[in-house]
Structure 1
Amino acid sequence: MHPRPSPIAASLYTLRDLNADVIILHGPHGCCFRTGRLLENDGVRVVTTAMSENDFVFGAAEKLEETLRKVESMFSPKLVGVVGTCASMIIGENLKEAAQNANINAKVITVESHGGFGNGDNTEGAIAVLNAAAKGGVIPYAEAERQNRMLKLATRIEKTRGMAKREYIPPSYGDNKVEVAKILLERFQNGDKIAIVLNAKKETSYLFSDLLKVQFSNIAPGNKPTIIANLDDEVGLPRIRQHAANIKKELLDAGISVDVITGGLDEYPVTGEEAVKFLSDKHFDLVVVAGVPHALPIEKLNTDTIAVTDGPRIVEPLKEMGYTYVVTELDAHAKTLGTNKIVRSDFGDVLRGIMDL
């Protein structure tokens, strides 16, 4: 019952990760407005055919062809994505035919996505882009198949462990950040063995990686946390690999090394399992998981835990699966779009503030 991410938005984000220069939404000018505006911060031009009531009856293929030609003259793109919306898909607009008729120089990927696409899961929109990209020779079929598997696993996790597990989950902002930060710092000072796990996805990793940069040695010299992260920069679409490389370099420049690499940023549905395999044999006193903590089977660990998430509707499920404390970081996507550096997090700043007192 509660709102879920749209397949259309997932299509837009996936085209961004393929380094599309321009994305055309074939629909009303207000469709996915916020997502389109946010993606412009990442250097992607997002435009619309601005379908109106008359177009809903008589079609708007000519508008799409005109928009494609205008995009070419304005931006000289190499890769263009055309994404359907509820309006254009319900009336059966032929995106591929319009793209062929426009006959522009750029490679054009057409994606017949809409709000109820497939079974309505947002990942359906991403899968549609990947399959179209493979057919168009933009990515290998093997990569599309790997990505599809990860997206289906991600959907399963949301439906069994995340905010889609029940019809309605009330939003919550979790435990008090100051109190949780004090507990974490006290555990460092007591000499507890602590692990910090980054299990993040896409650009939000720039925010959740901030926890890895906190200099806990300032209050607990010699008690270095074990860092586990899904930062393999040889896995995933071009932009995703670059995110991982950027974060690892910044951590290294700050004198921080990652002890265990569990996989890539798009492999978060399975890297949580890899993290637990490592943690289960090491007897940690406290484990902190940042990013997508519900993808990590924390119930397999007999220890105190802290989850750092960006979803108010995921707080209750995280508590149910056994996390001792849960803190939230709001607007992770909005804060990290357009950056190539680690972004300071609220929880990280609270920790730094307490250590400076």
Structure 2
Amino acid sequence: MQYIQPRPSSIVAALYTARDLGVDVAILHGPSGCSFKHARLLEEDGMRVLTTSLADNEFIFGGHDPLVRVLRHAEEEFSPHRIAVVGTCVAMIIGEDLESAIHDAGVTTPTIAVDIHAGFRENIDGVLATLEPAAAAGWISDDELERQRYHLGKANEVERLRGAASRSYIEPSRGDLKHIAAKRLVELADEGARGVAVMNAKKETAYMFADELIGLHDACPDAAITYLANLEDRGLPKVREDAARILAGMRERGVDPELIGALDEYGANGTAVGERIRELAPDFALIVGVPHAVPPEYMKGIECFSVTNGPRQVEPLREMGHRHVMVEIDLHPKTLGVREIVESEFGAVLRSMR
């Protein structure tokens, strides 16, 4: 696939994966502006992101010495438990040896080198470039590495088949008006229709998507609705911690969902969710997070409400037969650094119905 729309960066994917591995300090070996926005957002999530601030002089003579200096400063200043040195396009072009700089810095903090740049078409290359040295360092097991490799592949497959990567360009859309969809959803529940509410969300986005299930329960506490969520206890350290917090938060609010899959299994989870929906045979379904992971054959004859955080996912979902498609705008920045469930727009609208 040749994309003519912007796609996620493999450098940014490496940074997020370092965070999920419990890295305290990530060092971007490149210009100060590289991945600036995401670096700042990740700092809100508790991981310090430093840069070697390479400029024209280092482009010519190399950035080994600046990287050594920043590594030593990071250890002395922050006393981290783990460090990740993350490459950039500049580091790749000038042929920087990240491992050599780590060795010469003499730091005692466990540190991995992530040889990555933005020249990959798929952002999962950045994830794997981080997980592989993490496995070599003993931070994760070989079995977990293979598990991650499998689920990354399934996530990519879903995006190519039915997601934002299914064509070269997709017009972004804000989706349907939330109050109109919420009114219809509540009407169905009040009429006694049987429903299912599914969260199949990616990692920390679940802090907001979970609220939409809670919002439906708040609005329709006695309705015949079965709740499902991908909050099983598997994955990298932060992913498992997030799942535990979100599940506890949902239970405190009166929603005790059936568990199907883990937060990093959203791409492979669609068939299991679909089979459960088929067993329940509902009249309507609310699917939030990555709704396009559920194959369309499972949704035939069901009035489907779906919520995504991707404006380019609206059109593919409509083509799949989802009658009501909504977008939670700016969801990702709102869920970085949080440790409890965040109110969603659609959840708030559902609650306002009462």
TM-score normalised by the shorter chain: which range applies?
A: over 0.9
Question: Hey, what does 1:2 align to over in structure 2?
Answer: 5
1:207 CA displacement: 0.5
Aligned to 2:329: 330
CA contact 2:193–2:224 (8 Å) conserved in 1: no
Q: Distance in 2 between matches of 1:59 and 1:80?
A: 21
Q: TM-score, normalised by structure 2?
A: 0.97
Matching residue's letter, 2:52: T
Deviation at 1:15, TM superposition (A): 0.3
Contact 1:217 1:223 in 2 (8 A): no
User: 1:305-345 deviations in whole A, cap 9, x for unaligned?
Assistant: 01100000111111111211100001121001111111000
Answering whether residue 12 of structure 2 is matched by residue 14 of structure 1, we say: no
**What is aligned with 2:88?**
85
**In 1, Cα distance between equivalents of 2:247 and 2:221:** 23
Contact 1:299 1:322 in 2 (8 A): no
Contact persistence 2:216–2:350 (CA under 8 A): no
**Alignment check: 8 A CA contact 1:22 1:80 kept:** yes
User: 8 Å contact 2:192–2:224 — kept in the other structure?
Assistant: no
Separation in 1, partners of 2:28, 2:169: 30
SS, match of residue 197 in structure 1: strand
Q: How far apart, in 2, do the equivalents of 1:216 and 1:80 lie?
A: 42
Structure 2 residue 226 is matched with structure 1 residue 226: yes
Structure 2 CA distance for aligned equivalents of residues 229 and 314 of structure 1 = 21
CA distance in 2 between counterparts of 1:194 and 1:91 reads 57
Q: Tell whether 2:272 aligns with 1:269.
A: no
Q: Letter of the aligned partner of 1:270 in structure 2? A: A
Which secondary structure state, in structure 1, belongs to the residue aligned with residue 151 of structure 2? helix
Structure 2 stretches of 5 or more lacking a match? none
3-state SS, counterpart of residue 348 of structure 1: helix
Alignment CA distance shift 1:217-1:154 (3 Å): closer
Q: Distance in 2 between matches of 1:352 and 1:87?
A: 50
Aligned residue number for residue 140 of structure 2: 139
How many Å separate the matches in 1 of 2:203 and 2:269? 14
Is residue 251–residue 257 contact of structure 1 (8 Å, CA) maintained in 2?
A: yes
Per-residue Cα deviation, 1:150-173 (whole angstroms, up to 9, x for no partner)? 111111111121111111111001
Equivalent residue for 2:314? 315
Partner of 1:301 in structure 2?
A: 299
Tell me: CA distance 1:48–1:217, structure 2 relative to 1, closer, same or farther (3 Å): closer
Answer yes or no: is the 8 Å Cα contact 1:204–1:333 preserved in 2. Answer: yes
Contact 1:5/1:122 (CA < 8 Å) preserved in 2?
Answer: yes
- The equivalent residue for 1:101 is 104
Q: Deviations over 1:1-60 (max 9, x none)?
A: 100000000000000000100000000000000110000111100010000011111110
Q: In 1, distance between residues paired with 2:142 and 2:135?
A: 5
Partners of 1:153 and 1:328 lie apart in 2 by 23
Query: CA, structure 1 residues 217+44, in 2 after alignment: closer, same or farther (shift >3 Å)?
Result: closer
Aligned partner letter, 1:349: A
Q: Secondary structure, in 3 states, of the residue corresponding to 1:290? A: strand
Q: CA RMSD in A?
A: 1.1
Shift of 1:251: 1.4
Q: Structure 1 CA distance, aligned partners of 2:41 and 2:110? A: 23
Q: For residues 275 and 95 of structure 1, do their structure 2 counterparts lie closer, same or farther at Cα, with a shift above 3 Å needed? A: same
8 Å contact kept, 2:10–2:116 = yes
| Aligned counterpart, 1:64 | 67
2:151 maps to amino acid = M
Q: CA–CA distance in 2 between the matches of 1:30 and 1:211?
A: 36
Structure 2 letter corresponding to 1:346: E
TM-score (norm 1): 0.96
Displacement of 1:222 in angstroms is 2.7
> Residue type matched to 2:255 in 1?
I
Aligned 8 A contact 1:287 1:306 in 2: yes
Q: Distance in 2 between matches of 1:210 and 1:221?
A: 14
How far off its partner does 1:216 sit? 3.8
Distance 1:215 1:175, change over 3 A: closer
Deviation, structure 1 residue 300: 2.4
Checking the alignment, whether the CA contact within 8 Å between 1:174 and 1:326 is kept in structure 2 is yes
Which SS does the other structure have where 2:264 is aligned?
helix
Matched, 1:150 2:151: yes
Which one-letter code corresponds to 2:186 in the other structure? Answer: L
Q: Distance in 1 between matches of 2:311 and 2:66?
A: 40
Q: Write out the 4+ residue segments of structure 1 that deviate beyond 3 Å after TM superposition.
A: 215-218
Alpha carbons 1:172, 1:313 under 8 Å: kept: yes
Q: Which string of whole-angstrom CA distances, capped at 9 and with x for unpartnered residues, describes residues 204-259 of structure 1?
A: 000000012125465x46314200110002x000100011100111111222211x
Q: How does 1:196-207 map to 2 (within 5 A)?
A: 196-207=197-208
Native 8 Å contact 2:216 2:347 kept in 1: no
CA distance in 1, matches of 2:203, 2:334: 13
- Superposed counterparts of 1:202-213, under 5 Å: 202-213=203-214
- Aligned amino acid, residue 338 of structure 2: T
Task: Write out aligned runs for 1:172-187 (5 A).
Answer: 172-187=173-188
Give the deviation of 1:269 after TM superposition. Answer: 0.8
**Count of matched residue positions in the alignment of Structure 1 and Structure 2:** 350
